[in-house]
Structure formats: structure tokens, C-alpha cells
Amino acid sequence: MSTATATPRQGPLLGLRVLEFASIGPGPHCAMLLADLGAEVIRIEREGGNGWPNPVVDRGRKRLTLDIRTEAGRDQCLTLAEGADVLIEGLRPGVMERLGLGPEQVHERNPRLVYGRMTGWGQTGPLAQSAGHDINYLAITGALAAIGGREGPAIPPLNLVGDFGGGSLYLAFGIMAALWERERSGVGQVVDAAIVDGVSSMMTFFAGLLPSGTISLERDRNLLAGAAPHYRCYTCADGRDIAVGPLEPQFLAELMQRIDAPDVLRQGCNDPVLWAEQSEALASLFASRTQAEWCALLEGSDACFAPVLNLEEAAQHPHMQQRGVYRDIDGALHAAPAPRFSRTPGAVRSSTNASGWDGRS
């Protein structure tokens, strides 16, 4: 176990100043990404917090508790915004404007500010004022309908897809793009990052392949959603799962050779008509050995294989350990800053009470 308290700020974003208004989910995750890569982030929190304390995602900030509904709180936020490069907020559309902290009010004090707005539905549209969560945003984009078994309703994945894939990562990308443009124009702008937009952007891979018939989004015919026998998970003799994904012919041949598969499994894997029969045959075969035995036979080969691990086991896997993907800090697993940089690596830092940033540039 280690601590991040004494870790100096470092990374390619060293010198970037970010003002974050506390929220939940993708907004804090985006701020974490920026802080990990060296940005100085000061978070404005309300008394009592937001109900979702998270020592991992909330790392790397300075914290300041303010009542932004008061004139004094608003004025202090505007003063802080004067010295910031980026502002991140994840409130419902219109709330920041009513508080006197919307883009127009802030840009009057700091026209160079990049104002990042994180929502599920977006700043505009019929649903913009409606409550929602990851599952709802996935549902409306066409992504959720493609996830699940052959029968029954769609199955929501972890909110990796919406909140963080389509949300925080697109917000971070938008902020970086706006900062790049500011180098030429000299002025900031508003980044409207909506999860429905981000997930729809992520769905372009599938949308581009649908017309040619290369892929189907029907759950019983979707090559990449667990319907194909050579791209799914199987349960082993000890009840543990493994994942196989040899989509290319040479990798499929490698898997079949290593597991000594019967002829029925060595052909026709691209024919959905045969998938159910082949999946049953593979399920029976993989159930004959333990997860550890399959790891010994397949891991590190071109069979496109991996054991299905829980979070604690993942942190202990030799590959993850060698790369230092996870660190145990104060009893919590922290993922290393990502991506990695050759000259200016990021660092995991703890949060502190705000001090030393008076809002002046």
C-alpha cells in the first residue's frame, strides 16, 4: 500500500488551470484525466458533498467548499474563473446561467476560458431538461438494443460505454481541441459534450459496416456481441470464465489447433446458422478444464485468449503488474494515468484543500 500525497504534479498538461464544479460520473472523471496529466484542478464543492464520494476518481484536485447560490460564493467562483484555462460543469442546462455562472457571465471576466459542459442529453433538444442515466442515453442511441442475449430484453453494460466512453472522454477531447484552437484565435468557447452525441459517434464503426452486411446489430447475428462461437466467453470446469476472440482466420486456426478442436468447429465460423451448435460444442470443450489450465495452454499465444478476472485479480495479473496499471493507494485501486507519455509522464496525486490559487492569471 502506498500514498499519493507527496507526488509532485507532472505531465504534459503542467501549467493548465481547471476549475471544476462538483458533479457525478463523467465530469469528475474528465477532471481526473486532466489532473493525472499535470493540470492544476480546483474543485468547487457544496457543503456535504454530492453523495457519491470517490477517492479514486476524485484524486488530484484542490478542494474548496462554497455555496455558489450566494453572491459571495458566485463572486469567488468568477474570480477563480478569471485565472482558469478550463471550466467543467455537469449541471442541468440553464442551472449555471441562473446562478450567474453561465458561459456569457464567465466569458465577460475571462474570454479565453474553455467552458466544458457535460450532460447526458445535451444542452438542447426536447429531452435536455429531463433526468436520465447511462442506460437511458445508451437506449436512445441504438447501442443498447445491440447488447444482450438472443432472447429477453437488452442488457445494460457497465456505464463505461455511456458515462465514460461517450461522456468524459469526449469532453476531454473537446476541451483539448478548444485549447488548440485558442492558440490561434486567442479566445475560448463552449464545449457541449453530450453522452448521446459521444455514444452515437462511437456507433459509427457499426453504422459504416451495416450497409455492406459485414456486420449485423441483431443480437443473435452480431459477430462482436457474443453470438459468434469464436467471440464470446465460456465457463470452465472450476466455474471461472475465459474470453476468446480469434476473429481472423489465422488466429482462429491457432485456437483450434491448440485446443484440439473437432472438425465441426474448424469451419463455418462465419455462418450464423451454425453458431448455436458450435457454441455448444465449444462450451462443452472449455468446461473440461479449469481456467488456470486453459491459461497455461493459451495465454500469450495468437489464439486471442484471456481469463475473465475481477478487479482485484486484474491488478495482480503479471502483464498488468509489469506495466504498473494499478496501484494500491490507501486501500483503493488506482489506475495509472493514461495514455502514457515518453517525456512528460503523468502522476497519481491526492486531493488537498484549496490554497495558493487566487484566481489571477
Report, as residue numbers or ranges, the catalytic residues.
Answer: 133, 163
∠246-252-255 over CA atoms, to 5°? 95
Q: 117 and 175 in contact (C-beta within 8 Å)?
A: no
Cα 158 to chain centroid, rounded: 10
Q: 184 and 221 in contact (C-beta within 8 Å)?
A: no
Distance CA 239, CA 289 (A): 10
**SS3 label, residue 294:** helix
- Using a 10 angstrom Cβ sphere, with 0-12 exposed, 13-18 middle and 19 or more buried, the burial of residue 298 is buried
Q: 228 and 269 in contact (C-beta within 8 Å)?
A: yes
Task: Dump strand ranges (E) for the chain.
Answer: 17-21, 40-45, 61-65, 86-89, 114-119, 190-194, 232-235, 241-244, 305-307, 326-329, 332-335, 352-353
Distance CA 333, CA 312 (A): 8
b/e for 244-253, b at 16 or more Cβ within 10 A? bbbeeeebbe
For 82, phi and psi rounded to 5 degrees? -60, -35
Strands 190-194 and 232-235: unpaired
Distance CA 58, CA 256 (A): 45
Nearest Cα neighbor of 348 from 32, 46, 23 is 32
For 34, phi and psi rounded to 5 degrees? -70, -40
